[in-house]
Amino acid sequence: MVITSDFEIGYLIIASALLGVILVGALLAAIHLDRWHPKLVGAAIGALVGFALIEAVPLIT
């Protein structure tokens, strides 16, 4: 996929943050790590993974 605008980058980061909320937040809630809010931690991890993927994919192809 070719990313040509800031809107597309923002969309991908938001989409990965939402996936992080769902997947990582559910995982942290399931193993009862409630010291920090699981959905907030999941969103942060998802956004960081999304940003890393956006930066790494052009280097791979």
The pLDDT of residue 26 = 80
How far apart CA 27 and CA 43 sit, in angstroms, is 12
Total-model pTM: 0.65
**How many domains does one find in the chain?**
1
Q: Is 1 part of any domain?
A: no
Q: Is 45 part of any domain?
A: yes
The burial class, CB within 10 Å (0-12 / 13-18 / 19+), for 20 is: buried
H-assigned helices in 1-61 = 6-30, 38-60
Q: Is 55 part of any domain?
A: yes
Domain extent at residue 22: 6-60
Q: Is 49 part of any domain?
A: yes
How many beta carbons lie within 10 A of that of residue 30, not counting itself?
9
pLDDT, tens digit only, all 61 positions of the chain = 666 777 777 787 788 778 878 888 787 778 877 677 777 788 888 888 878 877 776 655 4
